[in-house]
Amino acid sequence: SAVISQKPSRDICQRGTSLTIQCQVDSQVTMMFWYRQQPGQSLTLIATANQGSEATYESGFVIDKFPISRPNLTFSTLTVSNMSPEDSSIYLCSVGGDYEQYFGPGTRLTVT
């Protein structure tokens, strides 16, 4: 499977600021996704990152809050904007081929 990295691995941010998370894959992949995992909870899909076009957001997530870029088939970014303590979570990217999806190591975000 592909090697997936995320930056930063963790961060502590003040409310009202923004953080951009990067996801890098060592090979070209068809699909890239962004998930959120709140403490002790399951994974919730934020959006599908589409190469060369706007991301597809799930219900409850909007572009103004979570802008996503995907300039090529190996890289994507997720920005968490105007953060509040409720945004404290682990953010994970995943990549997919035909069926299987594999996850990056995650970014642990704490908002104070």
Partner 1 sequence: GENVEQHPSTLSVQEGDSAVIKCTYSDSASNYFPWYKQELGKRPQLIIDIRSNVGEKKDQRIAVTLNKTAKHFSLHITETQPEDSAVYFCAASGVGNEKLTFGTGTRLTIIP
User: What is the full DSSP assignment across 5-46?
Assistant: EEE-SEEEE-TT--EEEEEEESS--SEEEEEEE-TT--EEEE
Please, what is the minimum distance in Å from the beta carbon of residue 15 to partner 1? 25
Q: Is the dihedral of CA 112, 83, 35, 75 positive or negative?
A: negative
CB-wise, 14 or 42, nearer to partner 1? 42
Which of residues 14 and 59 has its CB atom nearest to partner 1 in the complex?
Answer: 59
What is the nearest approach in angstroms of partner 1 to the Cβ of residue 59?
8
To the nearest whole angstrom, how small is the minimum distance from the Cβ of residue 67 to partner 1?
19
